[in-house]
Amino acid sequence: LFRGPNVAPCVVCALLSMCIGMYVAFNLDTTFPLLKMGGDGSLFGLSVALHQDLKTDTYLLLVGAPREKAEPNVPANRTGGVYSCPITADQSDCSRMKLIDPGENLIEDMWLGVSVASQGRPGGRVLVSLCCH
């Protein structure tokens, strides 16, 4: 009944089309979206992690922006950055975390914030990576 070289791709395509509805946008809240804005061209939101701050008893979003412009006192044009964003409806309430010491060796376009992770437990540590190329 089903023979020939074109049958296998058709079967795979049919199976994928039946399953794709289960995987599309499974974690998006369309009723109450949380939107945060970053600088143009900064790739703000490339990496995101949920973190619990025990000092303030709040949850924060840690947001990476690996193409963010350098801070004014840093001798580089683009270093990347990481932002701490409270979970609120305000789109512009994120604050840049101070992770760069201007006295250290800095690399132009070092993609700070390309990967962001929280330790996953209350009061855990935050891991921020960079990619120097």
Burial 24-39 (b: 16+ CB within 10 A, else e): eeeeeeeeeeeebebe
Return the closest-CA partner of residue 81 out of 94, 93, 99, 103. 99
- The confidence score (pLDDT) of residue 119 equals 77
Domain ranges of the chain: 31-129
- Residue the block writes with tokens 């025990």: 54
Ordered mean pLDDT values, 10 residues apiece, the chain (133 residues): 60 67 62 90 94 86 94 88 94 92 80 86 69 60
